[in-house]
Every structure is written in C-alpha cells, then in structure tokens.
Amino acid sequence: MKKPVHYILWKTLPGGAESLVTAYIEHFSKTRKQYLYSLRPSENELSTLPELHFQAGYDKNLDCYKAYFRYCRQHRDGVFHLVNSGPVVLLLTLLAGVQQPVYHIHGTKYWKSTLERIYLKTAWLLCGLFPFRVVANSTHSAAVFRQKILRKKLHIVYNGFDVETFLAKRHRRTELRRLAYIGRLHTGKNVDLTIRLFNEIAGQYPKLELHLAGTGNLRDALEALAAESPFRDRIIFHGWVQDMAAFYADVDLFIFPSAHESFGNVVLEALLTGLPVLASNIPAFDEIHGGDPAFSLGDPANYAEARDHFLNGVAHFTELAEKAYALGGQLGPQFSMEKHLEGIARMYD
C-alpha cells in the first residue's frame, strides 16, 4: 500500500476544485488510505466511500489552526494535498513536519487589500524556506504564482473533466436564438456586461433570449439591472443548474467576460458541446482554444472593445459556430479526467 493521502479543504462541500476531490477519492481508493479534512465545521458531502476517514475542524481561527497543526503532527508521514487553503495553512503543514505536502493552485488572486498582501506575502516567504510541491491548473496560473508569490518549480496539471458527458451533447449551432452566461454571479465575473451586450442586439433579434445560469451575491443586483432593460421579458435567471451539459446544449452563444480566471472550466465545457464562446482576453483561455481571436471578447474593462468583439462575433456567428464545433471534437484527450488523475498521481509518488 502506498502512502496515505490527506485532502485538506476549508469545507467539504460540492464546488469547483472540491469536485475534483470526489474523483481523487474514487480513483485512489484501491491503492491508498485516504483522509478528508475540513478546516471549518462541515459535513462530508464529497464522498460516501465507507473506508474514507473524515474529520472537521472549528470556526474560530485559533482553534481551527491548533486542531489542524495537531492533525498534521499525527499524520506527518502521509501525503497532504492542500486543495483550496492558503499560505497560513500551508505554513502550519510545513512547520508540523509533514513530509510530502502538495499545494494546488486554483486561482490567480492572492489578496484583496494592502494589509492582506503584507501578512499573506510574509506567510508565503516563510513557506518558501521549506520544500513542497506546487500544482498549477494552467500555465497562466503558474506564471502568476511565480510573478507574485514564489519563483519555484511548478507542475502543470490541467483540470480534469468527464469529457464524454459533454461530447455526448456536441452539435453544430445554426441559428442564434439564445445567448447565455454560465458561472458565479460575483464581482469580477462582469455578468452585468452580458446584459448590456444583450441589450445591444436584442432589438435586431426579436426572438433572442439571454439565459443566465449560476448563483451568487449579485443575483438581486443583476435582476434589478435586467428589470431596467426594455427586453426584460427575454432575460431568464436559472439559478443553480444541475445538468450543465444539457444547459450548454440548449443555448447558442456563451458570453464569459470574467476579469480573473486561473483556467476556465465553463469555457472548456461549453466548447466540448460545440457551443460558440466569446470570452475575455485572459491567457488561460488561450490554453483552451489555442488563442484564436474569433473566441475573444477582448478586455472586459473596456466596454467599447468588448462590444466591438461581441458584435463581430454575432455578425460572423456561422463561422464562429463551425470553429467551436470543430474544436470541441479535439479537446477531449488533453482535458480528460484520466489525464488529470495521471498528473496528480505523479505528485503523490
């Protein structure tokens, strides 16, 4: 039996990075003992595997960190996969003497204020005194980490997907009837831009609808913005969507004007179904669609630029749809869950 693996998360609830842990637990169940640790109080909603060891921590920071440090000391001979924690948790892991820590990057924003930058950057510099492995989910997120955090070797392991589920819905789009946004309704996602762009062309396309899938703290503000639109009856909020592949299959053009992404799961999923995409000019998206300018929405901070890219995409919708359909048939092998798990296994050995 190989070394046990401990998956460390803030909460063991379903989500983006958290969903990968479910795949890890299932995949490695025959070769390793596995432990799931929630830093905050949480139920285990990631796996029902009976042999999985689960433990949860505390709400108060001091109690949370003390309990985690004791846990690390008790299990320091194992592999610790820090899935969505941060430098303070990583530093505790290293100080406790964990022999094989693996830190997984799923973002490109590391602080929100000057004060946060001071203490978090200090924690990162202290972490740099110890050996540990870093996994990045894209070349872009790796470059940001090296620039902002530590100049050390990183291992690129793209996020893994159940590609067959999305490929099963792949088809050519032949008519522009439904625009869509899929993702969190949070600051930085620029979902309001999607509504503004829809308003630009809704008068010319009397049957065109805008469908928004996702949840977040901006839901009320976005609904208020939609209510001001003269085309408000054609703007539909779906909330949380369980069957994402079916949702992608039912729409014709995906607008994703996010300001910050380390990879872009929804962009990849959409293209796998053949759905045409217009996404902001984030380098991580180039790693998915190859940098083809046809898929670019430009800089979302520059509305005139984004509008021009959007109108051009709409004007050349047939060509964009054909490119998306062709690309969707090529992406599966590179972003399969099997390839992702192979990369993670190398981090554990």
Domain ranges, ordered by start, for the chain: 5-161+336-348, 163-331
- Three-state DSSP at 205 gives coil
Q: What is the dihedral of CA 317, 320, 325, 331, to 10 degrees?
A: -150
pLDDT over 80 at 1, yes or no: no
Count CA atoms closer than 13 A to 309's CA, side-chain side. Answer: 24
Give residue-wise pLDDT tens across range 33-61. Answer: 999 999 999 999 999 999 999 999 999 99
The per-residue pLDDT for 17 is 84
The per-residue pLDDT for 14 is 84
**Average pLDDT over every residue of 73-82:** 98
**Average pLDDT over every residue of 118-143:** 97
**Average pLDDT over every residue of 283-300:** 97
Which CATH code, of 3.40.50.300, 3.40.50.10330, 3.40.50.2000, 3.30.70.360, is assigned to 163-331? 3.40.50.2000
Bridge partners for 296 per DSSP: 279
pLDDT band, very low/low/confident/very high, at 250 (cuts 50, 70, 90): very high
pLDDT band, very low/low/confident/very high, at 272 (cuts 50, 70, 90): very high
d(CA 69, CA 306): 47
The per-residue pLDDT for 186 is 94
pLDDT band, very low/low/confident/very high, at 5 (cuts 50, 70, 90): very high
CATH architecture under which domain 5-161+336-348 falls: 3-Layer(aba) Sandwich (3.40)
Say whether 163-331 and 5-161+336-348 share the same fold: yes
Asked which of 8-22, 41-55, 63-77 is least confident by mean pLDDT, the reply is 8-22
d(CA 300, CA 310): 11
Give residue-wise pLDDT tens across range 105-128. Answer: 999 999 999 999 999 999 999 999
Report H helices in 57-190: 61-74, 87-95, 114-127, 139-148, 163-167
pLDDT over 90 at 18, yes or no: no
| Residue pair 28/103 in contact by the 8 Å Cβ criterion | no
The per-residue pLDDT for 235 is 99
Give residue-wise pLDDT tens across range 162-182. Answer: 999 999 999 999 999 999 999
pLDDT band, very low/low/confident/very high, at 267 (cuts 50, 70, 90): very high
pLDDT over 80 at 320, yes or no: yes
Give residue-wise pLDDT tens across range 232-244. Answer: 999 999 999 999 9
pLDDT band, very low/low/confident/very high, at 87 (cuts 50, 70, 90): very high
Distances in Å between the Cα of 61 and the Cα atoms of 46, 120, 299 are 23, 15, 38
The per-residue pLDDT for 19 is 87
* Average pLDDT of the chain to the nearest whole number: 97
Q: CB 311: neighbour CB atoms within 10 A?
A: 13
pLDDT over 90 at 344, yes or no: yes
The per-residue pLDDT for 243 is 96
pTM: predicted TM-score of the whole model, two decimal places: 0.92
pLDDT band, very low/low/confident/very high, at 287 (cuts 50, 70, 90): very high
